Amino acid sequence: MTLMPAMTSCDDFLDVRPKGEKVEDDLFKDSSGFEDAIYGVYGSLVTETLYGRDLLWGLTDVMAQDLDCGSSELVALAQYQYESNESLRLRFSSLWTDAYKSIGYANNVLQNLDKRTSAELPLYNLYRGEMLGVRALVHFDLLRLFAPTDPAQRGIPYVETFNFSVKPFLTVGETRDKIIADLLEAERLLADDEKLITYPHNDTQYLKFNNWRETHMNIYAVRGLLARVYWYFGDMTNAGIYARKVIDSGCFPLVDVTEVQNYLAGTLSPKETIFGLYAPKYLDTTNSLLYTYHSYSSYTCWSDYSGSAKLNPWSAIYNKDVPATSQDFRRNHFRSENSITKCMKVVDYLTIENNNVPFRSDLISGVNLMHVSELYLIAAEALLQSDYNTAVQYYNSEVTSRGLMPLGSDETLTADRIANEFHKELYCEGQVWFNMKRRNEDILSNREARVIPASNAIYVVPVPKEEFEYRP
């Protein structure tokens, strides 16, 4: 339901920076209190129901036929039986509820900011801009899961206040417009980030709110999200503008090919990460579900080791558009043994495998939600029709950083080729399914060994029935 619970203590903010018990008025009396609350909002996003699992790889990569899991609810998910399995239905219901809780927490901060001024809070603009960006991010991901792409059809409730009122469903187009409006306002408010974020990063004062900006919804995260939103809805002009704003900043260089294997690995990259969430518990989640094999509860990659012909196993994805002898360093993200293939891309296996690994001051344990390679590919597709040569330059920059050869003079860059590269690059990062939906692709089902025609029945998860219990 979109009804929001009362927030009465730091416990409600998950105690990300616990200060003891505080009532709300006390919590929001000064900058320190606002920052505690904001850190709590970010903390609420890394639960396993949200970006700590299900909104990253836990659900959508199963839906994309990239990851397999033998649990009954995820077998049903891979067959798009969203309501036939009660455990799966409740899992989506929890995602919906917890997402709106996080939105509510952000709105509570925003409403309390309305009572204060920038004279009272020196970082007022950062606080407000970040929370508007978070609100837009979560609404956008809910929209992509629970609504079709047609702007005229029913979208989701867009919640902008912290209270107990029932919020109406908007159309997809109306929801999109509110997301964009929040992001544009956030961009304006976060202008100081253009001075705060540089490469290499200078975060010597770790505890200062305006450092380690990659763990906050910073201006480049907002611009990257704007690129993602415009691209999803087919506005290639604005998608290209905002993707290039991030790339051209120079703050997020692509890694060298020698760094590809470890550029994510369950941490936030000091180069490519635009936005991620500090999440120390994420190591346990990935260790249990991605790194260690536990049969039915483990997530593994679809492969052909059994001899049964899968329609789109992981190896086939990385063989598309490249010679058989190509050196794609992203293949090092995968470990195959005993007919099982595991994806190590988002697992901090260096820490798991070596408890004595030295402290890496430039890395942050956590969940990577946006890195710059995605923006190179968005820019490439966005410019494909209007500025083909520049589109090729962006595409070539991205693929060569992964070890592949640039597009040959006798080859043509197409949207399909960019989509194939997007699949390779964003594998196990929760974005592939949404790109398939954007493109209305038929699904090559590894689970059922058949092609499933694209339809809203497949691409739109039903809104949880609990949402309608208190509606007139």
Determine the pLDDT at residue 306: 63
Average pLDDT over residues 173-190: 98
Determine the pLDDT at residue 204: 65
pLDDT, tens digit, 9 for 90 and up, residues 104-155: 999 999 999 999 999 999 999 999 999 999 999 999 999 999 999 999 999 9
Average pLDDT over residues 44-51: 97
Percentage of the chain beyond pLDDT 70 is 92
200 cis-preceded (ω within 30 degrees of 0): yes
Q: Is the pLDDT of residue 2 over 60?
A: no
Domain 14-462 falls in which CATH fold? 1.25.40
Instruction: Identify any residues that bridge with 278 across adjacent strands, giving them in sequence order.
Output: 366
Determine the pLDDT at residue 18: 36
Q: Is the pLDDT of residue 168 over 70?
A: yes
Average pLDDT over residues 316-334: 91
Q: Is the pLDDT of residue 3 over 70?
A: no
Average pLDDT over residues 409-437: 97
Average pLDDT over residues 26-46: 94
Let me know: does 65 contact 446? Beta carbons within 8 Å: yes
More confident residue, 264 or 306: 264
What is the distance between the alpha carbons of residues 52 and 50, in angstroms, rounded to a whole number? 6
Q: Could you give the angle at the alpha carbon of 322 between the alpha carbons of 319 and 327, nearest 5°?
A: 85
More confident residue, 326 or 233: 233
More confident residue, 464 or 21: 464
Q: Is the pLDDT of residue 6 over 90?
A: no
Average pLDDT over residues 300-321: 88
Determine the pLDDT at residue 217: 98
Q: Is the pLDDT of residue 232 over 60?
A: yes
What is the distance between the alpha carbons of residues 77 and 446, in angstroms, rounded to a whole number? 12
Residue 47 identity = T
pLDDT band at 163 (very low <50, low <70, confident <90, very high): confident
Average pLDDT over residues 55-69: 97
Determine the pLDDT at residue 339: 85
pLDDT, tens digit, 9 for 90 and up, residues 366-403: 899 999 999 999 999 999 999 999 999 999 999 999 99
Q: Is the pLDDT of residue 164 over 90?
A: no
Determine the pLDDT at residue 420: 98
CA dihedral of 47, 298, 144, 91, whole degrees rounded to 10: -60
More confident residue, 356 or 289: 289
Determine the pLDDT at residue 17: 38
Average pLDDT over residues 226-231: 98
Average pLDDT over residues 12-34: 61
More confident residue, 203 or 212: 212
Q: Is the pLDDT of residue 449 over 90?
A: yes
Determine the pLDDT at residue 359: 62
Determine the pLDDT at residue 309: 73
Q: For the chain, give the mean pLDDT.
A: 91
Determine the pLDDT at residue 202: 77
Determine the pLDDT at residue 354: 81
Let me know: does 136 contact 186? Beta carbons within 8 Å: yes
Determine the pLDDT at residue 205: 52
